[in-house]
Chain A
């Protein structure tokens, strides 16, 4: 596609439920990043995939958060047993080279 695609665009879930957020990067982009943006806050790094290398998971806030990237393309961010503090916009970005960094439109997650 022409850009980074994220789905769903909005997700409302009950506290304690699991959610999956999807990111389709730009075709051919080897690097994929997940960020979280809470209301009025900056962009918080979560996880980074680069090609076939082991992902950098250093930003994941707890073991309830996990992410996969299948076939070097689509990525899924999973949040288990969601809490209200997980409410945020989750942004995905991809790049071919380190400087060429394109964001998706994000998934707005609301935990009620």
Chain B
């Protein structure tokens, strides 16, 4: 099966700085890579995704990059704001989703 590793487990940044979260996966057949944001006590919400035929995707302050050769993908958040504080999960999927262990992001005002 797929094995998804996510780093770092915790990340603190100053408001306005950038945050980068990285994930690696093992199954070269995985073809869809979503990122979820989970605020405390709430359900995970999809924030951005990328498919295996695309190398980069951007949505306002959030971007995701994918390197299929190296089997890794990253979430980039620029100009961070306190409301970006949450746990972020990456996932890789071919059929069911395999999630990373999460990154707790804290944006310090």
Contacts and interface: CB of A to CB of B under 8 A. Distances in A.
Interface of A: 33, 35, 41-45, 48, 56, 58-59, 91, 98-99, 101, 103-106
Contacts of B6: 42
Contacts of A35: 99
Contacts of A33: 96-97
Contacts of B100: 42
A101 B34 contact: yes
Contacts of B1: 58
B44, B95, B100, B101: which has the most chain A beta carbons within 10 Å? B44
Interface residues of B, number: 21
16 contacts: A41-B102, A42-B6, A42-B101, A43-B89, A43-B91, A43-B99, A43-B102, A44-B99, A45-B97, A48-B96, A56-B96, A91-B44, A98-B32, A98-B95, A101-B46, A101-B97
Contacts of A91: 43-44
A50 B102 CA distance: 26
A56 B93 CA distance: 14
